[in-house]
Chains A and B, each alone.
Chain A
Amino acid sequence: MGGRAKLSRRTFATGAAALFSAPAALAAPATRQVETSLGRLDIPAAPQRVVAIDSRIGLEQALAFDLPLVGYSHSRARPWVPVPADVPFLAAPPNLEQILMLAPDLILCPDSAPNSDWWPLARLPAIAPALPSNHRISWQENLTRLGGWLGREEVAVRIIAAHAEMIAAIRTRHRRAVERTLVAAVHYDAIKRRLLVRSAGTRYGLVMPAQVLAELGGREVGADRLGPNGEVTLDSFGDVLGAVDGILLIDFGDGGPQALAREPLWQRLPAVKAGRVETVAGNCTFGSLYTARYLARAWDALFARLSA
């Protein structure tokens, strides 16, 4: 108990020092005025302490612009997102006081529900200027928008161009497969025994596997044959996935693929019989450039199988 109290006092000292030095930083002319959906904001021209509320988009964006992160929330960073080891995972749902004590000078937060516990965008400006991201537009649009606000459009342009190059290379490598074959990215819910298709636009949101597949120009199963969140029950596996040539199987580490392997109706899908299933580890449903890159490699591997 004593140790904890001491620790929190020390943290406070650091935080307080940063807090009280903040006005000095503001006095310097190093701010930019930007226009967001929340109105006009003054943000630091060179942010020193950045908090990303959502690990799936703000975190990846902050790393992309090389912003100095002091913490992030929502869920633990995925293994393919290069977070420095000293950036802490904060309380989830976010604890405003904890964020305040980190004395951030910029916060990145999705605008999905500004009054919610999980994405409290409406309350963040009291701590520091908050820049929104939006789950309904593509990761490139989000990145470009943020780049514009930060005055670093060129970084966004470079990242997007490098990604486009990677996508183009995959397309050239597997042109026939990409154009001719039908593919799907799926996650298996072993408890309710249903597939959740993540390569099509559904009510679930603008999911990354679908975005990257669209960039590649691949062909996916139509959302009209899926449930509202992309569900496919076992008995319509054949109807929905029978014509699919290759499947990207997303493994959340919850035993899904192992359970799926025991289902005869999965086993008899042509794509599975032919061994054209590529497993990709980790929850890559939402994200930004790193997840996009990770998924591009996964699709690349699947199309390589399909070309073989």
Chain B
Amino acid sequence: MPWAARVPVRTGRAMRATLRRSLVVDLGLAMACIGLGLFSLTLGTMPVSLADIARALAGEATGPVQLVVLEWRLPRILAALAAGAALGMAGALFQTLLRNPLGSPDVIGFDAGAFSGAILAMLTGAAAGGVALASFAGGLAAGLLVYAAAGGGHVERNRLILIGIAVGAGFTALNDWLIFTAPLDSALIAASWKQGALAGIDRGRLAIGAAILLALLPLGLACRRMMDALALGDDKAMSLGEPPGVARLCLGLVGLSLTATATLIAGPVGFVALIAPHAARRLARSAGLPLSTSALFGALFLLGSDCVARLLFAPRSLPVGAVTACLGGLYFVLLLRSRMRRGADS
């Protein structure tokens, strides 16, 4: 199961084949993201024709079409794509770092920390920007707390995961308590935010988030070398000129910042960071976790989930966090079936 531990040494030709395959998969996923993005511009309570959308994108639409397509749907779609990509990449980074297919940032407590920050901001009456920043800070704080409680980078992975789970449980208790005692309206808003904040996205928040991501995503892709080195084991990594402690710290910080930015944009949506790397690895059939594929799949997954959330019971919308949780559960069931067919390979 700890796939990163068994990166095989590949011959040149096999490596080229893998590379070609992952390029094809990435291209396909990118097309799918664009396609679904454009298609979902047409989805919603108000019917808008493709021609109208083309006009709106060309900046020629006015009135309700301009409002719905450019002001409401487009920012939401872009936000889902951006946050999904950030989460997908963060999941791949953390799962590599922790050498565990379930070691994603939402499982080890960062989401709970982000939620604590957001609730506290909401209860003190902060505006949307303040809530987003507080959630960013809360996620970072939880991550640093895990890092500090683990005594810096020198702790062994499984302990780090456990400490993450414990810190997450502590923050969750705090969150439950805050929601439990808050006035009804504040509690309702906080609980809704926990399940996804895509509905309330505005251009300003999206712009801030996108700007941070533009810096972080290339940085994440640049971690590729460190990931591969780490996957070979600490000694090997050292001999490749990548001190494992430094590499881990870098991966962790980039992953944490990606998670916090995704939360800033879309709220603490669960399961994207968990599922995307699995799916990406299966699609790309690569040995390690492909970062770009994972990011693209994350984007597609979150956008698809958001479409389901908006449309399944239209005009009512579901919380997107509930949809990702259900789809994530479904994915686990499928994973299990294929595993049972192949026989247990734990």
Contact = CB atoms under 8 A, between A and B. Distances in A.
A and B touch in the complex (CB under 8 A): yes
Interface of A: 8-9, 12, 15, 19-20, 90-93, 95-98, 100-101, 112-113, 115-120, 122-123, 126-127, 135, 203-205, 228-229
B189 A229 contact: no
Interface stretch (B28-36, B64-72, B91-99, B276-284): B64-72
A19 B186 CA distance: 34
B70 to A, nearest CB: 11
B192 A101 contact: no
A126 B44 CA distance: 17
Contacts of B193: 116
Given A116-B200, A135-B185, A90 B64 contact: no
B128 interface: yes
Nearest to A204: B183
A307 B181 CA distance: 37
A162 B214 CA distance: 62
Given A205-B185, A228-B181, A229-B183, A115 B68 contact: no
A8 B183 CA distance: 38
B45 interface: yes
A100 B64 contact: yes
Contact of A101 (B46, B63, B71, B185): B46
B192 A116 contact: yes
B320 to A, nearest CB: 11
A19 B183 contact: no
Contacts of B71: 126
A93 B64 contact: no
Given A91-B317, A96-B72, A118-B189, A9 B183 contact: no
B232 interface: no
A113 B67 contact: no
A22 to B, nearest CB: 9
Contacts of A12: 46-47
Interface of B: 44-47, 63-64, 67-68, 71-72, 122, 127-128, 131, 181, 183-186, 188-189, 192-193, 199-200, 202, 314-317
Contacts of B185: 112-113, 118-119, 135, 205
A91 B67 contact: no
B317 A100 contact: no
A96 B202 CA distance: 14
25 contacts: A15-B46, A91-B315, A91-B317, A95-B316, A97-B44, A97-B45, A98-B45, A98-B46, A100-B46, A100-B68, A101-B45, A101-B46, A112-B185, A113-B185, A115-B128, A116-B189, A116-B192, A117-B189, A117-B199, A118-B185, A118-B188, A123-B202, A126-B71, A204-B184, A229-B184
Q: Which of B64, B72, B186, B192 has the most CB of A within 10 A?
A: B64
B313 to A, nearest CB: 9
Given A117-B200, A205-B184, A97 B68 contact: yes
B188 A91 contact: no
Nearest to B184: A204
Given A12-B46, A118-B188, A118-B189, A93 B317 contact: yes
Q: Which of A9, A116, A123 has the most CB of B within 10 A?
A: A116
A289 B206 CA distance: 41
Contacts of A228: 181
A182 to B, nearest CB: 26
Contacts of A9: 47
B181 A229 contact: yes
